[in-house]
Amino acid sequence: MKIVSPIVEVVNHLVENKDRLSREIVEHSLQQIDIKYPQHEIDRAFVDFSNFIKLFAQSLTDNKKEINGELRVWSRKLGERDASEGKKVADSLEVYPTIRQSFIHFISKIGLDHKLSMEEVLYITKRLNYNFDLCLNETVKAFDYFKEKIIRATQEEVSELSAPIVPIHNGVAVLPLIGVIDTYRAKYILERVVPRVAELKIECLIIDFSGIQTIDTMVTNHIFKIHDVLRLSGIQAILTGIRPILAQTAIRIGIDFSHIKTYATVHQALKSINIEK
């Protein structure tokens, strides 16, 4: 007859009863905190912690390196999910100590019920804390990384919408700059919008500044580089709607207007093109 060690018995007990234990631990934790969660989030927590209990239990006897890898993957998915749902990582950190204590309470009690020695209970508790810290670290890293991806995607979408190329005649288009131009948007225009002007076979681009709300010195320099890049590409660039404060900033940083065609409005620029033709 094969003798099963007490820790293996605990592992089997945790795996077999992971769903019930998860529910008990989550409900115990909710009683300790003054936060009301929607039922669907509570139900999801039952599933999440059931998976955690299974992986934690396996880490007590199985190959720890392999289990740690599974814990990392599982934790990253949680972080990405929370980020995609617009949650704040601080919300998870706020309840983390309470959940940890609930886990320690239940897991230690199970260890003692199975007549584990104090050294064995201490080993299980240390593994539990290690797994908790590993999961928390991976969840936060994944949350920050995925949140940053969302922010970058949003910035790109906003930049695309706020700097559209509008064809208005054969070979002629308008680039209306709208809103606040920061370094990211200025770089986006140089790297993404300007090459597209050439792809569309545009011969003359009217860059309208009238919709810009604020712009700083560094960004002003980036924006006026657009004109130089277009000129070197053989595309005529005409600037319109340059407000006095923007013109003063440009002159102050050394931009030479002598070779730049500027008009007060897009209408005047179009009129000048018709006259020249």
- pLDDT tens profile 77-129: 888 888 888 877 777 777 888 888 999 999 889 988 898 888 998 889 998 99
CATH number of 6-153: 1.10.490.10
Q: For 29-66, write each residue's pLDDT tens digit.
A: 988 888 788 898 889 999 999 999 999 998 888 777 77
Q: Is residue 218 scored above 80 in pLDDT?
A: no
**What is the predicted pLDDT for the residue at 88?**
78
* CATH 1.10.490.10 domain span(s) along the chain: 6-153
| Average pLDDT value over all residues in the chain | 82
Q: What is the dihedral sign for C-alpha 252, 176, 159, 205? A: negative
Query: Rounded CA gap, 136 and 38, in Å?
Result: 22
**What is the predicted pLDDT for the residue at 1?**
40
**What is the predicted pLDDT for the residue at 213?**
63
Structure tokens that stand for 74 in this block: 């599982």
Phi and psi at 33, nearest 5°, equal -115, 150
Q: Does domain 163-276 have CATH number 3.30.750.24?
A: yes
* CATH 3.30.750.24 domain span(s) along the chain: 163-276
Helix (H) or strand (E) holding 28: helix 18-32
Structure tokens that stand for 43 in this block: 């139900």
Mean predicted confidence (pLDDT) in 134-154: 81
Mean predicted confidence (pLDDT) in 62-76: 80
